Amino acid sequence: MAHVIEAHADTHAHAHAHDEHEHHEETFITKYIFTIDHKMIAKQFLVSGILWAFIGGLFSILFRLQLGFPNMDMSFLKPLLGGWIEIQKDGTGALNPEFYLALVTMHGTIMVFFVLTAGLSGTFSNFLIPLQIGARDMASGFMNMLSYWFFFASSVLMFSSLFFATGPAAGGWVVYPPLSALPQALAGSGDGMTYWLLAMSLFIASSLLGSINYITTVINLRTKGMSFNRLPLTIWAFFITAVIGILSFPVLFSAALLLIFDRSFGTSFYLSEIYVAGEALHNVGGSPVLFQHLFWFLGHPEVYIVLLPALGLTSEVIATQARKPIFGYTAMIGSMLGIAVLSFIVWAHHMFVTGMNPFLGTIFMFLTLIIAVPSAVKAFNYITTLWKGNIRFTPAMMFSIGLVSLFISGGVTGIILGNNALDIYLHDTYYVVAHFHLVMGSASFFGMMAGIYHWFPKMFGRMMDERLGYLHFWLTFVGVYTVFFPMHYIGMAGFPRRYYSFTGFDAFRIFADLNMFISAAAIVTFSAQLLFGFNFFYSMFRGRRATQNPWQSNTLEWTAPLEPGHGNWEGQIPYVYRWPYDYSKPNAEADGFTDYIPQNVPYSVTKNSNLPHENDLIALEQEEMIPEDKSLVELKHIKVGAH
C-alpha cells in the first residue's frame, strides 16, 4: 500500500509550489504585538495569565499572613502596601480590614477570570484549536486579536484600580449589591468598583469575541477527514466551553450593566429601603437577590468554563503518556455535553439561604446532584485510562494525575454542599472554600500546568527543564492538599469565609494551629511557583531544542513544523483518517508502527492493526481522500521506520 501512496504523492509533488502561503513582511509590531496569528495570541494570553497568577497568588499570601499569624507585625510590608498597613499604638503594623477584603476580592477575580478563564481557555483554545483540527488560523484572525486586546485593556483597568486611595473593589469576587453599590458602606465600592465593572465589561467582550471565533473555527475549518467523532477531547472541551461562555457571559454583562445604573444613575434594580451613613436612600423596590440570580447564571457555568478546558487538556496528556486510548471517548463527550446543559440549571444552589423560596431550593438541589453523575463518569474514565497503561511520568502527566485527584477530592464535598439541608450550616464557611479551591481552582490550575508543560515544545520549539518541573509538581501537589484539606476541618467547625480575624468569637477561637499551618503551606506552595516562572521564561530562550513530536503523540499539531510559521503547515494541511487515540494498537508493529499511529495515517497502510469497521473505511478513503492528499509525501519523514 505504501507504494500507492508514494506514487500519488509523487504525482502531486509539483503542486507544492502553489500551496506556499503568502510571505508578508512582518515587523516586530505585527508579529509580537498586534498579531493575528493564533499561536502568538495564545502566547500573549499565556504570558498575561502567568503574570496575573503571580499577582493573584501574592494577594492570597498577604491575607494568609493575616489569618495564620494574626498578631504579626506587618510593618515590613509598608514599602509594598503603604497606608494599608496601619501602625498601631504599640508601633506594630496591622493590615487594614477593608484592604483585607480587597485582597480577597481581587484574588478571586484575578484567579477566576484573568488566570483560569483568559490564561487557560484563552491560551489553549487559541493555540490548539487550529493546530489540532488542521486549520491555518482562526476563522477571524482580526477578531482574535481584538479578543486579546480587549482582555489587555481590561487587565490595565483592573490593575490600575489597585492603586486607588480607596482601594480596589472589596465586596467579594461576587460583588453582591448593595455592598458593591454603596461607597458609603465600603471604600472599595467607590472608584475601585467602577473600574471593576468597566474591566469586567471589557473582559466579557473579549471572552465573547474569543468564543465566537472558537465555535466558528471548530465547525467550519476542520481539515478533510476531521469529523466531530475524530476530534481530540481537547477540542471538544474548548468547543463546549465556548458555547457555555457565549450563553452565560452576556447575562453577567446585564448584571454588571444594571449595577452600573444603580451606582451611577440612581436606578433601583438592586437597591431597596436602605439607611446607610445616617441617611435614608431614595431607592425602593429593587432586589439584591435579583443580582445574585443574574450573577450565578454566569457564575456557575463559569466553574465549567474554567474546568472543562483543563479536563480536555488532561484527557490528551493522560492518553498520550499512558500510551493508551482515552477510555470511553464517547462517554467523555457525552458527560461534557451533559455537564454543559446542566451547568445552566443549577445556579441557585449558591443561594439556598438567601431567602429564596424553599421550593426553588428543592428543585435546584435535585438538578445539582444530577450534575455529579457525569462528573463521576469522567473521573472513572480517567482512572480506567491509567489501568494497564505504560505510564511515562512527564511533568505534564503528573499534573494531569494530580488534577484527577483534586477533581475527585473537591468534587465529593459538592455532594454535601449541594444537599440543601446540609448546606444551611456549611454555606459561606471554609468548607465551601476548600471545596471550590480543590475542584475548580486547583484542578483547573493543574490542567493549565499540564497544558504548559506538554505543549511548551510546540509553542517555543524548546523543552522545559524536567527536573525543575518534577520539583514544581511535587511541591505544588503536596502544597495544594496541605493548604486546602485542613480547610474542611475548620469549615465543619463553622468558620465563616472572609473573616479578617477569628478571635472575636468563642466558637472560632480554636484551630490557630491549623490556620498557621495552612498559611505556612500556602507560602511554600507559592514559592514553588517561582521555580515554574524561572523554568518557563528560561526555557523559552535557553531550553533544549525540542524534536518535532517529543511525546510521540497522535494529534495533528505534532505534524506541523517545529516552529510553525503563520499558516501552521507548509504545503497542504494533513488530512485525517482516524481518531486521535490509536495508542498501543495491537499489531501496529506489523504495519511498521511503534505504539502510536498519528491521525494523518490512512487505514490503508495499517491493515494489520485495523479493527474490522476500520477496514471497511479503506475503500472510501482510497476513493475520496488519498488521491488528493499531498501531505502524505511528508508523512514519510514524520514516521521514520514506519514503512
Partner 1 sequence: MTNILLILAALLLVAIFLVIFRASKLISIFRNDSDPDKVSQSNNIHAYLFLILPLVGFSLAGWYAVHHLGLIIPPHASKNADITEPLFHQATVVILLMFVITNAALFFFAFKYRYKEGYKATFFTDNVKLEIVWTIVPAVILVLLVVQGWQAWKKIMYTAPENAQQIEVMGHQFAWKVRYPGVDGKIGKYNFRYTDATNEMGLDFSDKKNDDDFMVSEIHIQKNVPVVFNIRARDVLHSFSLPHFRQKMDAVPGMPTKLWLTPTKTTAEMRQELQGRPEYQTIDEKSGKTRADGFNYEIACQEVCGRGHFAMRLVIVVDDEIDYKKWLATQKPFTEVNKEYVAKARIQQQKAKASGVAMVSK
Judged by CB under 8 A, the chain residues 499 through 518 that form the site for partner 1 are 499-511
CB 560 within 8 A of CB 457: no
Residue 403 half-sphere exposure, CB side, CA atoms within 13 Å? Answer: 33
Per CB under 8 A, contacts with partner 1 among 368-397 are: 369-370, 372-373, 376-377, 379-380, 382-384, 386-394
Nearer to partner 1, 49 or 447 (CB): 447
- Do residues 450 and 316 make contact, with C-beta atoms less than 8 angstroms apart? no
Kindly tell me which of 207 and 321 has the beta carbon lying closer to partner 1.
321
Nearer to partner 1 by Cβ, of 65 and 247: the residue is: 65
DSSP 1: -
According to the binding rule CB under 8 A, does residue 75 interact with partner 1?
A: no
Residue of 327, 436, 577, 603 interacting with partner 1 (CB under 8 A): 327
Cell, residue 439 = 475542584
Indicate whether 524 belongs to the interface with partner 1 (CB under 8 A): no
Per CB under 8 A, contacts with partner 1 among 590-629 are 595
Quick check: 65 binds partner 1 (CB under 8 A)? Answer: no
Per-residue H/E/C for 574-610: CCCCCCCCCECCCCHHHHCCCCECCCCCCHHHCCCCC
Closest C-alpha among 128, 234, 239, 39 to residue 558: 128
C-alpha cell of residue 215 = 465555535
Amino acid at 238: F
Angstrom distance (rounded) from CA 242 to CA 547: 32
Rank residues 10 and 513 by Cβ distance to partner 1 and give the closer one. 513
CB of 555 to partner 1, least distance (A): 17
Tell me whether residue 29 or residue 421 sits nearer to partner 1 (CB atom).
Answer: 421
Among 30, 75, 140, 584, binds partner 1 (CB under 8 A): 584
Minimum Å distance from CB 546 to partner 1? 7
Q: Which of 133, 365, 396, 452 binds partner 1 (CB under 8 A)?
A: 365
**Toward partner 1, which CB reaches closer, 301 or 389?**
389
Q: Which residues lie closer than 8 Å to 266 by C-beta, 6 or more apart?
A: 282, 283
Among positions 215-244, residues that touch partner 1 (CB under 8 A) are: none
Binding mask 537-576 for partner 1 (x = CB under 8 A): -------x-xx--x-x------------------------
Smallest gap from residue 259 Cβ to partner 1 (A):
14
Closest CA to 215 of 45, 319, 338, 340: 340
Alpha helices in 74-140 (DSSP H): 78-81, 97-109, 123-133
- Rounded to a whole number of angstroms, the minimum distance from the CB of residue 523 to partner 1 is 14
Neighbour count for residue 90 (Cβ, 10 Å)? 7
| Residue 11 cell numbers, joined | 504525482
Which of 408, 448, 450, 576 binds partner 1 (CB under 8 A)? It is: 408
- Pick between residue 343 and residue 413 the one whose CB is nearest to partner 1: 413
Binding residue for partner 1, selected from 116, 138, 404, 521, defined by CB under 8 A: 404
Segment interacting with partner 1 (CB under 8 A) among 23-31, 119-127, 302-310, 489-497: 489-497
End-to-end CA distance of the chain: give it in Å, rounded: 10
CB of 476 to partner 1, least distance (A): 12
**Residue 262 to residue 271: CA distance in whole angstroms:** 8
Contact 102, 170 (CB under 8 A): yes
Q: Which of residues 31 and 545 has its CB atom nearest to partner 1 in the complex?
A: 545
Supply the minimum distance, in Å, between the C-beta of residue 423 and partner 1: 9
CA distances from 502 to 332, 491, 518 (A): 44, 13, 15
d(CA 531, CA 522): 15
Task: Provide the grid cell at 6.
Answer: 508514494
- Pick one of 39, 427, 437, 454: the residue that binds partner 1 (CB under 8 A): 427
Question: Where is 513: in which H helix or E strand?
Answer: helix 512-542
For 245, phi then psi, to 5°, come to -60, -45
Exactly one of 354, 523, 533, 636 binds partner 1 (CB under 8 A); that residue is 354
Which of 27-35, 107-115, 132-140, 402-410 is the region at the interface with partner 1 (rule: CB under 8 A)?
A: 402-410
Cell (9 digits) for 77: 510590608
Residue of 13, 219, 276, 341 that binds partner 1 (CB under 8 A):
276
Interface residues for partner 1 in 101-120 (CB under 8 A)?
Answer: 101
Nearer to partner 1, 50 or 322 (CB): 322
Residue closer to partner 1 (CB basis): 65 or 416: 416
Residue placing its CB nearer to partner 1 in the complex, 238 or 329: 329
d(CA 496, CA 513): 17
**Per-residue string for binding with partner 1, 468-487, x by CB under 8 A?**
x-x---x--xx--xx--xx-
CB of 394 to partner 1, least distance (A): 7
By CB under 8 A, residue 420 contacts partner 1: yes
Cα→Cα distances 531→473, 527, 528, 538, Å: 10, 7, 5, 10
| Residue in 91, 586, 612, 641 binding partner 1, rule: CB under 8 A | 586
**What distances in angstroms separate CA 208 from CA 46, 105, 144, 633, one per listed residue?**
18, 24, 10, 40
C-alpha pair distances (Å), 318 with each of 235, 326, 553, 575, 633: 15, 8, 11, 24, 30
Give the one residue of 274, 433, 487, 556 binding partner 1; rule: CB under 8 A. Answer: 274
Neighbours of 556 (CB within 10 A): 27
Longest CA–CA span in the chain (Å) reads 89
Site for partner 1 contains 299 (CB under 8 A): no
Residue indicated by cell numbers 475601585: 192
| Contacts to partner 1 from residues 169-208, by CB under 8 A | 171-172, 176, 178-179, 182, 185-186
Least Å from the CB of residue 384 to partner 1: 7
- Least distance to partner 1, CB of residue 41, Å: 27
Q: Please state, as a whole number, how many other Cβ atoms lie within 10 Å of the Cβ of residue 502.
A: 18
Among 92, 267, 272, 608, binds partner 1 (CB under 8 A): 272
Q: For residues 164 and 581, which CB has a smaller minimum distance to partner 1 in the complex?
A: 581
Interface with partner 1, residue 421, by CB under 8 A: yes
